[in-house]
Amino acid sequence: MKRFIRLAGMPLFGLLLFTGVASPGLAEEPFSSEQVNLMASACANCHGTDGRLVGSVPTLAGRPAAVLEARLLAFKHNETTDATIMDRIAKGFTDEELAALAGHFAAIDPDEDDAPESEQEPQQ
């Protein structure tokens, strides 16, 4: 009980301690790259592999992480008027997972060609 009260009084310290113990090598990253890749695979159907689809579904690759994260959080918390589907999808993830997904897609080079079989549309 005493221990609980102490931790409750220092929630941040307790959290840091716990994270450090749970993943010693990755204390600064809440998710492993495998976890993020798995989550991101749920986006590929619509946004294309690596979020690089060019068309009616917005491109994600290479967009600023802060913009993507803000959009995802807005979808999740019903702060958009233009969502057809993303409001429902975003609700399936925690805010931390959405931040990790935003970082994942922001880090992808939209012009890197590692999918030679895909149709390449000329980009402006």
Can you give the binding site for ligand HEC, defined by CB under 6 A?
A: 42-43, 45-47, 57-58, 60, 68, 71-72, 82-86, 89, 101
Contact 102, 64 (CB under 8 A): no
Contact 120, 113 (CB under 8 A): yes
How far apart, in whole angstroms, are the C-alpha atoms of residue 10 and residue 114? 47
Task: Name the residue nearer to ligand HEC (CB basis): 7 or 83.
Answer: 83
Taking the complex as a whole, the smallest distance from the CB of residue 17 to ligand HEC amounts, in Å, to: 30
Task: Name the residue nearer to ligand HEC (CB basis): 7 or 89.
Answer: 89
Task: Name the residue nearer to ligand HEC (CB basis): 5 or 34.
Answer: 34
> Three-class SS of residue 36?
helix
> Three-class SS of residue 48?
coil
Taking the complex as a whole, the smallest distance from the CB of residue 48 to ligand HEC amounts, in Å, to: 10
